[in-house]
Amino acid sequence: MRVVILGSGRGSNAEAVLRSQADGKLGAAKVAALFSDRPGAGMLKLGPAFGVDAVFLDPGAFKTKLAGEAEQTYIREIGARQPDLIVLAGFMRVIKPAFIEAFSGKIINLHPSLLPAFRGLAAIRQAYDFGAKYTGCTVHYVTPDVDAGPIIDQAAVRIGEGETLEQVEANVHEAEHRLLPAVIARLSRA
């Protein structure tokens, strides 16, 4: 199963997937490429370290979505890798219907909450500010409705009495680093 990972930041989840692959724990999945919408994204440095292509693609004029020619460039460049699975791991842009249709049923997202609770941006902060006793992370299929696709799996994280937001964020990220590679491995065997 050929996997393409899209991200916008430091790439800790992409690194967790690549480390699982290097350790032989990613099932029949193999990461074919990393793509980022930010030229200085840390995840782009992972490519050479793991022998995987890492590519910056200009996201166009919009700050929160891919649209127009930029969206078509993403579809063309990702499609050229012939992905069986596209993983959104910290990709901070809304994916529009044209992209979803181009890769129908092949796009999953890692979201830092127990969906359907706390959709959208700053999900960990949302849970923390709400006073939730549990939060976590969810891997789900991507649909046109943001963070509303069918859930594949989740990992719960307890918010301990007196924990800071930073501690909760670290705990959720640790859960993400376990959950995402496990889901990819499982999907590769399906």
- Kindly provide the residue ranges of all beta strands, DSSP E only, lying in the chain, ordered along the sequence: 2-7, 30-36, 53-56, 85-89, 107-111, 134-141, 151-158
C-alpha 109/C-alpha 137 separation (Å) is 10
* ∠ Cα 52 55 61 (to 5°): 160
Residues 50, 73: Cα–Cα separation, whole Å: 25
Residue 164 in 3-state DSSP?
Answer: coil
Please count the other Cβ atoms lying within 10 Å of the Cβ belonging to residue 10: 14
Angle at 138 between CA 4 and CA 32, to 5 degrees: 10
Rounded Cα gap, residues 149 and 141, in angstroms: 5
Residue numbers annotated as active site: 111
